[in-house]
Amino acid sequence: MGSVINVGFSLMWETPVLIHKGGFCVKAIDGPREALRYLQQDFGQHSGQLYWNAVYSCKTALRYRSAPETARRYFIIACGNATDIAVP
């Protein structure tokens, strides 16, 4: 039989990342699961090292192989390069 892979779907960041477009807050990203979903579905860019670093860090955080806050930092860097964000 195969082994069970623990996945932290309920992992949350202490402070959400707010996505702004056109001067309005359009989304609050609360953790690596939402960040990964945003990167894969709503993010305007699906290439480049910053994008792939963010995707990888979210996946490793969800597998409990890195800290969720590390994924948050990479997500902020990727989004800051491509769109407006606000970090409370």
Q: What is the full per-residue pLDDT of the chain (88 aa) written as tens digits? A: 567 667 677 889 999 998 888 778 889 999 999 999 999 998 888 899 999 999 999 999 999 999 999 999 999 999 887 655 655 5
pTM attached to this predicted model: 0.84
Alpha carbon distance 68, 83 (integer Å):
22
* pLDDT for the residue 4: 64
Q: What distance separates the 2 farthest-apart alpha carbons in the chain?
A: 52
Phi, psi of 73 (to 5 degrees): -60, -45
* pLDDT for the residue 1: 54
Phi-psi region at 54: left, alpha or beta (left = phi > 0; alpha = psi -120 to 50):
alpha
The residue written with tokens 């979903």 in the block is 37
H-only helix segments in the chain: 32-41, 49-62, 68-82
Phi, psi of 59 (to 5 degrees): -65, -40
